[in-house]
Structure 1
């Protein structure tokens, strides 16, 4: 094929990418304007979906409680670490600063951010396609052998076979150019491409032109996990624009929209660089940059900077830029999973999904482990054609694909290096010592489950310390919030009132945090005014830190056991695994009580994590109550008694907290009609008078008012029986049972 024809074909591919990106951008104008309005009025936590925000917070070691607390703190830095949080320097972590950066409360970042940026930049190189129709692009190593770039950079094995990648093509600190290390691409060993998602994955020669070792340039870890970036966040792009020495667009690229397969981000630069990695502030790859979004005319044709219709021969620098588009890296990985490979090609592909820390020169590599706890194996649907030959694989894929994956047990955060942790002091709670001894050591080469739990402990203690600086209960502010919440509720008809409240509670229940009492219940929600936690059944006092660390010990032991079960996955099926997990939770419970037992609703969310019916409760009382429905014993002496209360086959009566648990149960009945009472063991309709009696006999306390306001901050909805105790007699509850 002639040189002009090859160049024309490449230009046509590029023009096609520009046109499709512009169309996608134009079709989302209304949504994007809405996102911008929310960003300006409320902030980055509210422009994206609650589910995505919750996952993003989790990857930062944070949660809604911490995020909402930071939003309400003073704006001036309050510690030598530069945080706006009321924290002593020794309690400050990079996770907290990352959350403040996300919210926009603080632009400070640890110096390690720059150091890590330098490290990841080593894996980014300039691709040069020589010969007819050649040019430049950017690519980055994603496994010890494979480089990722765009399909429109390397369209097939013919392009890749005459291409090279140069690492360290950049200037040194003193401004002089470094000597790049140049490696030949080896598509006959491995080449996979997908035009629809605009990615190509190709093998790189293990030795450079001057004998350099490819491993010296490391690789970027990729993850399918959600929550790596939100609308409104800023991303970083390391690139070789127009084939020039390596450059970086640092935090000047704001995410303005998240599509099913693409991200749109606006920036100050005129153009991007095809095949560049797009990073979040933790230097995780969130997208594969593949196209600029150009300004267009009424016919959708790209425009040049002077307003004329742009033509490829004008050069990329003459395009009038509006935004940039990247392919979501989770979608690239999902499609790659579905490519049917075998033998050596499958092994090379699987290395993309396998974590290996890049050792310094001269050291040996550590063992590998599945990235973020995810499985490195995947079944294929067999529907995509491939060619298998003795010299390698070439796969071409188009269209959408659906990917399912095993969720990790622990935290998936890949944030900056942390300082050494202080030795933990183990408080008086007896379960701490039992669980600490019970937790098995992880097998060699497996991730240490303790690190995931430590992230939760850090976040919980930050939540608690921030809470200590807040007013316990602001009566005036809460009265205003209560009035606004029920502004459209009308009384006078018991059935209509119940239906209206159920609708309101469901619609305002956003976000819907998952069940994690050490993070959401103990630090602030369930505190009494003296700063202590009090068992809802026995009235026994505990410090917040005590129960946080007790639950952390339980979580660590559970995770260690789950890890053992996963190792036996080949011999234990899903049913056996679920039974083992249920038994594990029953044998090692948290210090938290669901006043509506989890077995009554199958441990499903959002019921399981709904804070309105979660209370601090030591494990002894938790286990003693079990899933017995509440009951009023006329003769206490005939019942089995403990400090927690009384129990017989007919039910359980708590020693303390009858009014609070009654109001929490009534809330649950309103919020989740039909979930309780479908079997005889659960709370039957004929015991409704018992709840109403307990509710009437114990007035709403300041503790409950505080809980209600704190929960409303976190999950949006309120408990009507706390806000309006008088409604209990008016609401027609008959419709809440199946």
Structure 2
């Protein structure tokens, strides 16, 4: 078959799930491809591209899908690539395409393993749950595919309105408003089901502020509230917040379009600039637009990109295989103020 978004998604997922040469060889052999046919030059993404291309020549991509499903049945990328209704995760930009990753040094990695205590007051959980109420899943229906992301309700300084904030690459054009749903309360309940959700639409007549991926990668807009129930989901106050290296961050997100989840603690900032922060944590592409919090539950950034380890990078502590970047909330606040002042 011609290379398509499903094969690209399979490529992305396998590069994240099976990135060592040994794992790649094992899965490729299960799908019917001998190691001698694999081009091992490049990173895991490039090696898997070689594997999939070779299997495609032999009409064996279905075998690879079956192998991947057997080993990684819980992975939403793979399930979406296999399923009849395709969820397109390719909208998220690759970190190496939009930014330069600064490798963490030994002292920073040591913080993850031994230097700082993980003891927290019990109120930490209560405050986090309050913030989580304002976080929602974003779905944008594009033809037969659905783009997914995360966003949150927020109030900017010196402005009384409540806005919804997500990434520009999640929704960037007003033409997509009729096909977009903002879904609150998409969470697991204690019985293993999903809580009662509520769906809102974007207010097409309201304030609409965007900034492209290579600038602030943000879309800020108002939500229609015909039933006057939006107040039930509160909002998160935004402030200019410091984001120093070695500070821990927590991310409330809808990874892969799944129910709301939390990447909690020992996720560390490895680099900080005026525009971005970089950090090690677990995210998926549906996490785009998620709020990145510090330990006081102040938003320090809006998550917008991630990437797997490159072949020349040293292994990270167990569980920390993802490189991630967010746009600093200070920069987004400054951009919002500028646009409002200019009469946007």
TM-score range, shorter chain: 0.5 to 0.7
Is the contact made by 1:222 and 1:285 (CA closer than 8 Å) also made in structure 2? yes
Does structure 1 residue 198 correspond to structure 2 residue 198?
A: no
Tell me the residue number matched to 2:271.
257
**CA separation of 1:181 and 1:259: change in aligned 2, threshold 3 A:** same
> Normalization by structure 1: what TM-score?
0.31
Larger strand proportion, structure 1 or 2? Answer: 2
CA distance in 1, matches of 2:259, 2:282: 19
Is the contact made by 1:272 and 1:324 (CA closer than 8 Å) also made in structure 2? no
- Equivalent in 154, 158, 163 of residue 146 of structure 1: 163
Is the contact made by 2:283 and 2:322 (CA closer than 8 Å) also made in structure 1? no
Is the contact made by 1:272 and 1:292 (CA closer than 8 Å) also made in structure 2? no
Secondary structure of 2:192's aligned partner: coil
Does structure 1 residue 278 correspond to structure 2 residue 292?
A: yes
Is the contact made by 1:292 and 1:321 (CA closer than 8 Å) also made in structure 2? no
Tell me the residue number matched to 1:222.
238
Secondary structure of 1:169's aligned partner: coil
Q: Deviations over 1:186-230 (max 9, x none)?
A: 1331211000210000110113xxx36101100011112x43x32
Tell me the residue number matched to 2:95.
18
Q: Measure how far apart 1:177 and its partner are.
A: 1.6
Does structure 1 residue 124 correspond to structure 2 residue 135?
A: yes
Tell me the residue number matched to 2:245.
231
Q: Deviations over 1:533-587 (max 9, x none)?
A: xxxxxxxxxxxxxxxxxxxxxxxxxxxxxxxxxxxxxxxxxxxxxxxxxxxxxxx
Tell me the residue number matched to 1:327.
327
**CA separation of 1:271 and 1:149: change in aligned 2, threshold 3 A:** closer
Does structure 1 residue 159 correspond to structure 2 residue 176?
A: yes
CA distance in 1, matches of 2:177, 2:248: 32
Secondary structure of 2:237's aligned partner: coil
Does structure 1 residue 213 correspond to structure 2 residue 229?
A: yes
CA distance in 2, matches of 1:267, 1:189: 35
Tell me the residue number matched to 1:528.
none
Q: Deviations over 1:217-269 (max 9, x none)?
A: 00011112x43x32112111101111111111111411111123111111255
Q: Deviations over 1:432-461 (max 9, x none)?
A: xxxxxxxxxxxxxxxxxxxxxxxxxxxxxx
Tell me the residue number matched to 2:126.
115
Tell me the residue number matched to 1:338.
338
**CA separation of 1:38 and 1:240: change in aligned 2, threshold 3 A:** closer
> Unaligned stretches of 5+ in structure 1?
45-102, 299-319, 342-378, 381-385, 387-392, 394-738
Tell me the residue number matched to 2:158.
none
Secondary structure of 1:137's aligned partner: strand
Q: Deviations over 1:483-513 (max 9, x none)?
A: xxxxxxxxxxxxxxxxxxxxxxxxxxxxxxx
CA distance in 1, matches of 2:285, 2:141: 23
Does structure 1 residue 241 correspond to structure 2 residue 247?
A: no
After TM superposition, the structure 1 = structure 2 runs for residues 571-650 of structure 1, keeping only pairs within 5 Å, are none
**CA separation of 1:327 and 1:294: change in aligned 2, threshold 3 A:** same
**CA separation of 1:104 and 1:284: change in aligned 2, threshold 3 A:** farther
Is the contact made by 1:145 and 1:206 (CA closer than 8 Å) also made in structure 2? no
Tell me the residue number matched to 2:35.
none
CA distance in 2, matches of 1:179, 1:249: 23
Is the contact made by 1:252 and 1:268 (CA closer than 8 Å) also made in structure 2? no
CA distance in 1, matches of 2:296, 2:181: 29
CA distance in 2, matches of 1:173, 1:212: 28
RMSD over aligned Cα atoms: 3.0
**CA separation of 1:337 and 1:241: change in aligned 2, threshold 3 A:** same
Is the contact made by 1:181 and 1:212 (CA closer than 8 Å) also made in structure 2? no
- Equivalent in 148, 159, 172 of residue 136 of structure 1: 148
> Unaligned stretches of 5+ in structure 2?
9-87, 156-160, 313-319
CA distance in 2, matches of 1:239, 1:332: 19
CA distance in 1, matches of 2:331, 2:253: 21
Is the contact made by 2:308 and 2:322 (CA closer than 8 Å) also made in structure 1? yes
CA distance in 2, matches of 1:39, 1:252: 10
**CA separation of 1:128 and 1:324: change in aligned 2, threshold 3 A:** same
Larger Rg: 1
CA distance in 2, matches of 1:206, 1:281: 32
Q: Measure how far apart 1:172 and its partner are.
A: 1.9
Q: Measure how far apart 1:105 and its partner are.
A: 5.3
**CA separation of 1:289 and 1:105: change in aligned 2, threshold 3 A:** closer
Secondary structure of 1:187's aligned partner: coil
Larger helix proportion, structure 1 or 2? Answer: 1
Residues paired across the two proteins, number: 244
